Amino acid sequence: MKSTETVVKVENLRKTYNADAVAVHAVDGISLSIEKGEFTAIVGPSGCGKTTLLNMIGGLDRPTSGDVYVQEVSIGSLSEGDLIDFRLKHIGFVFQAYNLLPVLSAEENTSFIMQLQGKSKEERSQRARQLLKNVGLEGREGDKPAQLSGGQQQRVAVARALASKPNFIIADEPTANLDSHSTSNLLDIMARLNEEEQMTFVFATHDQRVIDKAKRVITLEDGKVITDEIRS
């Protein structure tokens, strides 16, 4: 039997918004765990709580109740500053709108996180170049985001997310702004990283192409898990 390592554990997680005094349960008592090497897609209709769940798993948002454990650390118990440091060291992010710094080149955007981590210039440069090569952007290291296509920018965002050697990567609708060719390209890269490096990916997505590639699909509705399907 293949040994597993729990990367993320979610326990009875709730997020309630008080919209005009009417409580809205964006996430309503979700419990689940994500193991190392999973390629998980969280799916469901708009407003079902995918992004809210992902934000809480990534420590970007605090739950109303319940807790998230990353590598057995309760991120709910961390202070604001410690949580920022925790994200820096343990979690990689890929956003829908790429969110690259427009004034930095592809290589600088990739090495930015490592610079925040205090890595040496040589190490940063070497790793950033290798990561950009891995995502198929060799030779484009000096290009600014404005000089890259949407698909290329998202690949830089993946390289940036990998730069800090995180425990897992959260990707919120990473293909929403991409054409089919770029989407296929990006998914191939992520799938390869998942296969070869056992990198754990958690997606929130509507995109059937992402869902088709996923090894596990969690379906949400009204803030609750409706189905949790593990594919062979």
Judged by the rule CB under 8 A, the positions of this chain that interact with another protein are 55, 58, 60-61, 81, 84-85, 87-89, 93, 95, 99, 101-104, 112-113, 115-117, 160, 164
Task: Identify the DSSP state of 185.
Answer: H
Which residue, 115 or 130, is less far from another protein as judged by CB?
Answer: 115
Which residue, 73 or 230, is less far from another protein as judged by CB?
Answer: 73
Which residue, 13 or 217, is less far from another protein as judged by CB?
Answer: 13
Report CA-CA distances (Å) from 147 to 106, 127, 174, 221: 10, 22, 19, 39
Q: How far is the CB of 195 from another protein (least distance, A)?
A: 26
Q: How far is the CB of 94 from another protein (least distance, A)?
A: 11
Nearest C-alpha neighbor of 8 from the set 37, 51, 48? 37
Q: Are 63 and 28 in contact (CB under 8 A)?
A: no
Q: Residue 95 corresponds to which tokens in the numbers above?
A: 């956003």
Which residue, 156 or 214, is less far from another protein as judged by CB?
Answer: 156
Q: Residue 74 corresponds to which tokens in the numbers above?
A: 């309760």
Q: How far is the CB of 32 from another protein (least distance, A)?
A: 20
Q: How far is the CB of 55 from another protein (least distance, A)?
A: 5
Q: Given the structure tokens 């929403």, which residue do they identify?
A: 176
Q: 225 forms bridges with which residues in the sheet?
A: 220
Count of C-beta atoms within a 10 Å radius of residue 198? 11
Separation of alpha carbons 100 and 79, rounded Å: 27
Which residue, 103 or 226, is less far from another protein as judged by CB?
Answer: 103
Q: How far is the CB of 99 from another protein (least distance, A)?
A: 4
